[in-house]
Structure 1
Amino acid sequence: MNIPDTLNHKPVVVAEHYDQVDGRNAGRLDAKCLSLGLTAESGPRQAELSAKVWRYTGDALSTQSEELPLHRVLDLAILICRSMEHFNEAYIYEHLFDPEQPVLDRIGLQGSAMNVAVCTANANILEDIQSFNQALSQNGEMIGERLRTLSRVLKELGY
């Protein structure tokens, strides 16, 4: 199933087949993919980062917004962190990723695994990945502050 790249969200990093690792809902609900990307209003100078849960309604991928189960929020956080880890070293690749190996990681979760991959189905991936990388860099202080806070809270909880 290809994620459309012509909607308000331009996917850059995806966890496809998410319906197989969606906690207790694995294999039963319509959340098919998680993605990190850019909002359609983003331009090369002002890229806005966004996350999306792609739902399949039986006919097509839906653009509906939704309430998120807490485990799905955490799965998005895992996707964000793994993506940031990749982009810290992505400069070694001509296009910020290896087109021959677009899967960045495979993370085991409840009975299956969540693949973290560059969205090669995005027809504009070479341009969008550059904008995404730049936006990560520009938002590094804001994102880093939240990650440090999350890390501190997780440590306080014993994780």
Structure 2
Amino acid sequence: MKIPTTLKHKPVVVSENYDRVDGRFARNTDVKGLSLGLTQGNDRGKVNISAKVWRYTGEDWSSQSEELPLHRVLDMSILICRSLTHFREAYRYEHYYDPQKPVIDRVALQGDAMTVAICTDNEKLHEDMKLFSQTLSNDDEMIGERLRTLSKILKDMGY
């Protein structure tokens, strides 16, 4: 299925077979593609690069398709990696985190730091932490494959 090219997001690089590799949702997902493309910013004439997840309902391209600026995609990757690091050792705590130290890390970015922390406002945090940890464990092979691939690509790029 071809990603539309007539919308505000103008695809430049695409993965139009993403429904076949969408993790545990592969071959049973409404996510049909991913793209990197150009999008018109709010400032007149300003163009941004964004990543987009394309959802298709079977009849129309869904309004639930998501578009993210590239820096947010990378920030999300940082959040994922720091979370994975935390959960590798989380079994040591009764509720998978130290209530006295809910901040996992502060990652320096452009003069400040992105805080990575456990959401202590979650009323069902203890239950959700256990489920989150179990799901990470269940998906370890799939996540690990993608992290190894990303690591190789980053090394090849000189990072």
TM-score (norm 1): 0.59
> Does 1:147 pair with 2:130?
no
User: Structure 1: how far apart are the matches of 2:65 and 2:109?
Assistant: 24
SS at match of 2:67: coil
Give structure 1 regions of 4+ aligned residues with deviation exceeding 3 angstroms. none
**What is aligned with 1:89?**
89
Give 5+ residue unaligned stretches, structure 1: 1-63
CA drift at 1:133: 0.2
Q: Which amino acid aligns with 2:121?
A: A
Q: Which amino acid aligns with 2:71?
A: H
Q: Which amino acid aligns with 2:106?
A: R
> Does 1:158 pair with 2:158?
yes
Identity %: 66
CA shift in 2, pair 1:151/1:133, >3 Å: same
User: Structure 2: how far apart are the matches of 1:152 and 1:121?
Assistant: 37
Write out aligned runs for 1:36-115 (5 A).
66-115=66-115
SS at match of 1:67: strand
User: Structure 2: how far apart are the matches of 1:155 and 1:100?
Assistant: 36
**What is aligned with 2:37?**
none
Write out aligned runs for 1:24-35 (5 A).
none
User: Structure 2: how far apart are the matches of 1:151 and 1:66?
Assistant: 25
The Cα offsets for residues 62-109 of structure 1, whole Å up to 9 and x where unpaired, read as: xx7641011110110110000000100111111100111100001110
Q: Which of the pair has more CA radius of gyration? A: 2
Question: Superposition RMSD on alpha carbons, in Å?
Answer: 1.1
User: Structure 1: how far apart are the matches of 2:66 and 2:152?
Assistant: 28
TM-score (norm 2): 0.59
**What is aligned with 1:135?**
135
